[in-house]
Copies of this chain bind each other. A is one copy, B any other.
Amino acid sequence: MAKSMYLLWGSGSPPCWRLMITLEEKKLQGYKQKLLSFEKEEHKSKEVLEINPRGQLPTFKHGENIINESVGACLYLENQFKSQGNKLIPDSPAEQALMYQRMMEGLFFLEKMEFFVFYDFYAPEGERHDSALKRHKDNLVTELKLWESYLENCCFRGFSLADVVFFPSIACTFAYGLSPERYPKLAKYYNLLKDRPSIKATWPPKWFQFEQRSESLKEI
């Protein structure tokens, strides 16, 4: 099955990483893949645009089926390969509700991180304001504190699509210098999962814009 899959991905991109973790969890190793460079704008190449008009990574095909949105692709793979590999959507209504809730909230987390870390990318020169940057920073801190509170009673029961969506983003924050002392629950969660085989096997060879950004979350 995995042989009919084709993934175009960029290193350090949380959406790409989500999909790669899911492929590992579902024992779908051996898929065709190509690592592209964001810096060289390869995500805007003809090959990508033919499959993904948004020119984004991941870009993913399973046979003739195209599903580029990472969360959509993870849901699709879990549904198509229910009994293969690890189950990523729990059965019990309570666990399922929490899983879907955190999975979707995980998208906000990433967005809030990116609005702060990549502020210069979102706001061109001449449109930047210290007040806006501070607001994005405050929003991210609020978000981090919210997830700290979620993890108070170890909110993630088992490994599920909630972790698939959230873990790559929280790994980014630590790669960008987030303080484990200030966010101990998040650090504990990160350390608990970072050696999971599916995560280790797909660890980004390099972080997206890591070099310039490694210190950007140090003070928050």
User: Which A residues fall within an 8 A CB radius of B?
Assistant: 53-54, 62-69, 71-73, 75-76, 79-80, 89, 93-94, 96-98, 100-101, 103-105, 107, 123-124, 126-127, 129, 131-132, 146, 149
Contacts and interface: CB of A to CB of B under 8 A. Distances in A.
A98 B73 CA distance: 10
A93 B69 contact: no
A96 B79 contact: yes
A149 to B, nearest CB: 8
Copies of the chain in the assembly: 2
5 closest Cβ contacts across the A-B interface?
A: A72-B100, A69-B104, A65-B97, A72-B104, A67-B97
A101 B131 contact: no
Nearest to A80: B93
A175 B158 CA distance: 44
A103 to B, nearest CB: 6
A101 B62 contact: no
A123 B94 CA distance: 38
